[in-house]
């Protein structure tokens, strides 16, 4: 049957893996780019999260969760890279999807404040969307290449 996995890697699965690794690295690098500006000051995503916490623009629980999630984003990306190195592509893609959703959420929130937004947020938004799409394609590709259990 044409629908059943063959157990052989599709030619695109290697390309998807390379793309996923590159997007993860670029996504973490983008967190250090200038995401916001006020006057002459330019702030990275970490500075933006810290300022949102300090200014109490969101509730206390959301601030705490936001700080922890954002601070652990590079760790999550590193875990995805480790999973790729161990050839656990579906796990890596799932974690990469999480990284993309988290990064995209903050980038999208900052995109709605165009006067304060800087180029790093726009780049991060594009990377996040690309990361989510690549993660989804990787999961689909892995599902198609996994052998069906024999009975």
Give the model confidence (pLDDT) of 95-149 as tens digits.
999 999 999 999 998 887 767 788 999 999 999 999 999 999 999 988 876 655 5
Reduced to 3 states (helix: H, G, I; strand: E, B; else coil), residue 38 is: strand
Residue identified by tokens 């995209």 is 104
Lowest mean pLDDT among 51-55, 80-84, 93-97: 51-55
CA distance 21 to 92: 9
CB contact set of 118 (below 8 Å; sequence gap of 6+): 33, 34, 35, 36, 37, 42, 43
Distance in angstroms (rounded) separating the CA atoms of residues 76 and 85: 14
């Amino acid at each position: 049957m044409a629908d059943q996995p063959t157990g052989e890697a599709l030619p695109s699965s290697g390309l998807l893996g390379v793309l996923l690794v590159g997007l993860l690295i670029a996504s973490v690098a983008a967190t250090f780019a200038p995401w916001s500006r006020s006057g002459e000051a330019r702030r990275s995503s970490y500075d933006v999260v810290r300022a949102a916490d300090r200014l109490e623009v969101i509730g206390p629980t959301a601030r705490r969760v936001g700080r922890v999630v954002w601070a652990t984003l590079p760790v999550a990306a590193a875990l995805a890279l480790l999973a790729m190195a161990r050839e656990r592509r579906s796990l890596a893609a799932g974690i990469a999807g999480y990284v993309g959703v988290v990064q995209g959420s903050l980038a999208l929130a900052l995109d709605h404040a165009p006067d304060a937004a800087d180029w790093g947020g726009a780049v991060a938004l594009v990377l996040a969307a690309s990361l989510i799409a690549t993660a989804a394609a990787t999961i689909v590709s892995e599902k198609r290449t996994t052998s069906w259990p024999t009975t």
